Amino acid sequence: MAYVVTALLIDPGFFLWYKLIRKAKEPLHMGKYRFVIFPLLLFFLSQLSLWAAPTKIIWSVSSFGEDDYFHRPSDIEVDHQRSLIYIADSGNNRVLVFDFDGKLLRIVGREGHGPAEFSRPTGLYIFEDGRLAVADHHNRRIQVFDKSWEFVRLISAKTVGVADLIFLDDRIYTISIYGSSGYSPDIRSEKETQPLVNVLDQEGDVIQSISVDDFPESHPFLRAIKHRVCMTLSKQRKLFLPHFAMNVIHVFDLNGNKIGEFDRPLPYKPGAPELVHQSSDKDGIIRMQATMDMVTKDAKIGPDGHLYLLTFKESYMKRSKEKDVDSPPPPPMRVDVIDTQTHKLLRSIDIDAGARSFSVLDKNRLVYVYEDNEGELFLKCIQY
C-alpha cells in the first residue's frame, strides 16, 4: 500500500489503479491481479523519465582570447559531423566557432556592410556539407560561408527581415523575429495577422508565406508579439513553430499546410500580451512598450530526433509585479524534450536561470549561453 500512496502523489492517474486494488477486498495474489500490477508497474517506470535528473557541468566559458566576452548572443547551432559549436554573437557583430571542449577556434566576420561583415547577426544554419549561413539581420541579407569559413555569397532579402533561417532544397525558410533581433512592427499594416514564416527563393524574393488566423490583433506591436515564433525542422521534414509568448506549438508541412498543433504542461498559465506605453517624439519616432509572459525562447531538433524547447519556468508578468522588486533576477529556465510523433513531453531538464540560447550536442549533453545575477554571460556545457 505504501507504493500506491507514493504513486498517488506522482500522478493522479494512479488513483484508478488504487480503486481497482481496493475494490477486490481480497489479498493481492500476483497471478490473479497481474492485469493490475504489471500495467501499474510499467506506468510508474514510464513516469521516471519526466523527473529532472541531476546535471553535471562539463565546462563553462565566460571569456576567451585576449579579454574577449559575449555580447547579446542570439543563436547557437552545432555541426555534429565536425564537432563544432557556432554562436551568433549579435552584439559584437560576429560568429564565434568553438570545439566541443569549449575552446575558441575562429572568429568569423566583423562589424560592417560588406562581404563577411555583419550588422546584428541573429540566426545561423549549418549545411550538411559544413557550409555556414548567417542571418545578417540589420543588413537585411543572408551570407553564406564555406566550411573553411571563407565568404561565398550574399542573398539580399528584398522585402522582409531575416532573423533565423533554414535552407531546404532550393528554398529558404525564414522568420523575421528571433533571438536578439528585437521587434519591427509594421505600423502601416491594418491586417490582424502576419506571416509566421516567409519562404524565399535563392534570389531573396518571397515566394510563399506561412500564417495562421488564430490570434487576430489590430495593434501592430501586439500583433508582432503574438506572431513571434522560433523555427526548427524535424527529421520527418516537418516545421515546428513554438510561439514565444503563448503555450502553442504549430506543425506545418513544407508546403505551408498546418498539420498539427499542441501545447505542453507548464507550472503557470501565460497571460496575454498587454500594451503599457506608446508615445511619439517630434521626429515622429514611435515608442511602444508591452508586458507579456514569455514561454518558449528557442527550439532545436536533437540528434535523437526529439524536439527540445528552451522554456520559461515562471510567469514573467507575475514576477515583474512582485513588491520590492525593481529589477527581477534572470528568469528560471528549463529545456523540455518532446516526442515529435506523439507530441508527448518526455522529460524536462533544469538549466541555469537567464538562459538565452541553446543547442544539443548529443543525446545527453546540452550547451547554452546564460546571464548570471551580475549580468555576466557564460557559455556552459552540461551532461544530464
Across the chain, mean pLDDT equals: 87
d(CA 298, CA 249): 12
Calculate mean pLDDT across residues 63-76.
92
- Choose which CATH entry (2.120.10.30, 3.50.50.60, 3.90.550.10, 1.25.40.10) describes domain 52-383: 2.120.10.30
Name the range with the highest mean pLDDT among 210-224, 324-338, 355-369: 355-369
Report whether pLDDT(31) > 70: no
Report whether pLDDT(30) > 90: no
Ramachandran assignment for 128, one of left (phi > 0), alpha (psi -120 to 50 degrees), beta (any other): alpha
Any idea which residue has 555569397 for its cell? Answer: 153
d(CA 329, CA 313): 13
User: Where do the domains of the chain lie?
Assistant: 2-48, 52-383
Are residues 270 and 225 in contact, defined by beta-carbon separation less than 8 angstroms? no
Q: The whole model's pTM is what?
A: 0.85
Question: What is residue 296's predicted lDDT score, i.e. its pLDDT?
Answer: 98
Question: What is residue 288's predicted lDDT score, i.e. its pLDDT?
Answer: 87
What percent of the chain is modeled with pLDDT above 90? 71
Question: What is residue 5's predicted lDDT score, i.e. its pLDDT?
Answer: 30
Tens of pLDDT along 321-343? Answer: 765 556 678 899 999 999 999 99
Task: Assign 3-state DSSP to the chain and report helix, strand, coil percentages, each to 5.
Answer: 15, 40, 45
